[in-house]
Structure 1
């Protein structure tokens, strides 16, 4: 995750950028002055500084130079040629007026961060090790790739991702909340031909409904009350790169119609505009909702659904990933120890047993939070399972696999009807493996058919 420091007075328009930069996945800190930033932070640890000229005006007056690193963008409410030249001479990568619309600033932020990565790749004396790190980042399943897993379900997912990544095909990612859908989208982008261009991530549920069309498609000056300047939109910001729309099921119907035009015509029209603009994006969407059910309820456009459903990737829930749970827990434990300046705990058997016994309805996100709790609450010498603070589970009784019985089903029952009946009837007393064996299929097939037929998993209490 890229880290950004914003240095600006409280009244500065730049302060508003903290919210939307955080929403798009950046780690953002804010200080009122350079002195305050230096006092509480090590500025060289940030990837980028965004600085209001007012916050450093005294430095220019005294001909004092800013630190050489990190790179910085200077923004000025009283922009002038002389100040701009002076700022660039002192090392600013860009000099922009204030206020600046979010898409323009975002494009400049991404540009600087990409320059940072390119410079590190060419100037570092450890080029070979960086190439190795880059290769690891492209090896799905390794920590460097951001997606960790060796279970059969995850290996099948990785196999599909490698086949899809090199194309520009639209992808729909489905899975429960917390399974890592955004990580999959970013991995697809990093493996694609578009990896040198930005990936713009948008959580459709996080943007107010009355603003989402303007945020995505942009607007012309005067298009509505408060539209004081022209605004390009996030789709335009993703031009030549990838647009990732998370929680696509939350997109309002009117915005769905506009998105359909982007997919059909490869162009966008700003709110209030009469002319369209061509864009070249690769669209990846994600949802935990049943879009087909939403189509039947009139909440999601059927034509858009079939535009999105070109390739589908299903993310398995954490509880179905076997030994991946322990692998993830060990990595997250080390990460939490480093975050909270604690010695790296040994991953002990009791701790692992407690983790493997939990159902993890919140998936990887819940696991990460639980381990962070345990790290904070445990004594220095040992991480304790009790400090995970997990809800107690009752052990469900397991019986011997039963042969499929269809004598109580009515005439004309389909195979899907039978499959659903059998799973719902026996899942309270059989494991997923035993259910699959009884049906004569693999666990992967069982999981895929659960998704297809919307068969809920058994509920543990």
Structure 2
């Protein structure tokens, strides 16, 4: 039996891993510090350590060395590229964000232990049987992607076909439909599965930093570049690069990305030399890229590089009985998260869920169910606590009142004002400056652009 030591503070979400790792047949122990672990256990006897980054930080502050054996995985609630690079340099075999999906962590645990299984012929103790095949078949309630409706079954067939190739893939679908999960499913069923998948939301990185984050930079390339560093594309070398909301990538970065795809090489910002990389690119968007090409907002040559294989994800409202399947799994997950007994999935609850339109798709469904679990009494989960109708009425009332007041005072709505302001100032301001001037985040500005169909400026 494989033994795993989890070292994390009491408030770490990593502690939740102990129960389900035990269910998979691992012997799991927990310590809240390296000092405690060394005091009560012989760490060299464990096959694997799972360590919270907070513990690593304490170890570094106290100049304590991690044991050379066994191997370890670092998990970080404030994951960043620099911390990841440092962790790998200190011997971590994987660096993962917290909270982490249980199936993702299980795959990394299994991958970490596989070499030990192959060289353990001298051991007389039988090793646990772990199902490492891609997974817990797609579509089942044990999978990261749940669904049995015809469009989803067709999607799963295509995923398996695409995963067997190195083809660049474009995933399209509304926000919240699970585009990143599909990208991970392709990666995990591909020949690159033993290397990492690097996921990047192009809309979430400030426009003036995105080239540096993707391609890296040389020391002194710009103000604040105090040291050279590899970008996320280099980090994804020999693995998969997933670019979510690729339609938000600035045109300059699009040109650099095209070079990566055409020549298999990347050049840091401020550098003169290219470095070879081997990546498999998966991109996603909810926008019409071809329409963006016509408007000059997206490079035509990059569009055709991306459009090798396309997967289209159906919205939740068009998935029939899948809605109930997903809701049951999310209900159990929310109950476990909030330490409540698992509620019975009753007919009234299901009716309320099936009657909603779900414009936010699975992400909205997950939030609504978690809300219901928190607000419901112990004996029964109540449909009223989904707060769907109340939320819609509340939003309509506030929006209507605000727009009425705005219209009376300024002759326009808030959305009209925002659209006018952005179109008037975007030629002389960055996205970050626009968002700051409007008193909103860059992500909120991006979401408003999508809602109001405000085109981004075209950079010559």
Query: What count of residue pairs does the alignment treat as equivalent?
Result: 343
The question of whether the paired residues in 2 share the 8 Å contact of 1:103 and 1:231 is answered with: no
Cα deviation per residue 1:23-51 (whole Å; 9 max; x = unaligned)?
xxxxxxxxxxx9xx64545976569xxxx
CA distance in 1, matches of 2:83, 2:312: 33
Contact 2:49-2:70 within 8 A present in 1 as well: no
2:148 paired residue among 147, 150, 158: 150
On the 8 A contact 1:103/1:237 being kept in 2, the answer is no
- 1:338 alignment partner in structure 2: 336
Are the equivalent residues in 2 in contact too, given 1:172–1:286 (CA < 8 A)? Answer: yes
Q: Is 1:118 aligned to residue 111 of structure 2? A: yes
Equivalent residue of 1:284, what SS? Answer: strand
The unaligned stretches of length 5 or more in structure 1 are 1-33, 48-55, 395-461
Change (3 A) 1:350 1:161: same
CA contact (8 A) 2:71 2:93 kept: no
8 Å Cα contact 1:138/1:191 also seen in 2? no
Aligned to 1:105, which of 86, 89, 97? 86
Once residues 103 and 258 of structure 1 are traced to their aligned partners in structure 2, the CA distance between those partners, rounded to angstroms, is 24
Q: Partners in 1 of 2:39 and 2:379 — Cα distance?
A: 48
Mapped contact 2:93–2:112 kept (Cα < 8 A): no
Measured after TM superposition, the shift of residue 225 of structure 1 is 1.0
How large is the Cα RMSD of the aligned pairs?
Answer: 3.7
Residue 143 of structure 1, CA deviation: 3.1
Shift in Å at residue 205 of structure 1?
0.8
Q: How far apart, in 1, do the equivalents of 2:293 and 2:219 lie?
A: 35
Q: 1:323 to 1:67 in 2, by over 3 A?
A: farther
> Which stretches in structure 2 are left out of the alignment for 5+ residues?
1-6, 19-32, 75-79, 97-106, 394-460
Task: State the alpha-carbon separation in 2 of the partners of residues 100 and 200 from structure 1.
Answer: 11
What is residue 174 of structure 1 aligned with on the other side? 172
Of 197, 215, 218 in structure 2, the residue corresponding to residue 217 of structure 1 is 215
Do the aligned residues in 1 keep the contact of 2:217 with 2:231 (CA within 8 Å)?
Answer: yes
Q: Offset of 1:66 from its aligned partner?
A: 8.8
Aligned-residue offset at 1:360: 0.7
How far off its partner does 1:83 sit? Answer: 5.6
Secondary structure in 2 matching 1:143: coil
Q: Residue 49 of structure 2 aligns with which residue?
A: 70
Aligned mates of 2:108, 2:331 — CA distance in 1: 33
| Paired residues of 1:145 and 1:187 also in contact (CA < 8 A) | no
| 2:198 aligned residue | 200
**Mapped contact 2:266–2:274 kept (Cα < 8 A):** yes
Check 1:163–1:258 CA distance in 2 against 1; reply closer, same or farther (3 A cut): same
Measure the CA separation in 1 of the matches of 2:366 and 2:69.
42
Q: Distance in 1 between matches of 2:68 and 2:319?
A: 54
Q: In 2 relative to 1, CA 179–376 (structure 1 residues): closer, same or farther, beyond 3 Å?
A: same
Measured after TM superposition, the shift of residue 203 of structure 1 is 0.7
Partner of 2:230: helix, strand, or coil?
coil
1:179-328 alignment runs, 5 A limit: 179-328=177-326
Is the contact between residue 136 and residue 144 of structure 1 (CA under 8 Å) also seen in structure 2?
no
Q: 1:252 to 1:67 in 2, by over 3 A?
A: farther
Give the Cα–Cα distance (whole angstroms) in 2 for the partners of residues 202 and 149 of structure 1.
26
Q: Offset at 1:77? A: 11
Contact 1:110–1:198 under 8 Å retained in 2: no
Pick the structure with greater CA Rg. 1
**Hey, what's the Cα distance between the residues in 2 that align with 1:92 and 1:66?**
16
Is the alpha carbon distance of 1:110 and 1:360 closer, same or farther for their aligned partners in structure 2, counting shifts above 3 Å? farther
Q: Which segment is superposed worse, 101-110 or 198-207?
A: 101-110
Q: Indicate the larger mover: 382-391 or 265-274.
A: 382-391
| C-alpha displacement of 1:271 | 0.4
Distance 1:227 1:369, change over 3 A: same
With normalisation by structure 1, the TM-score equals 0.66
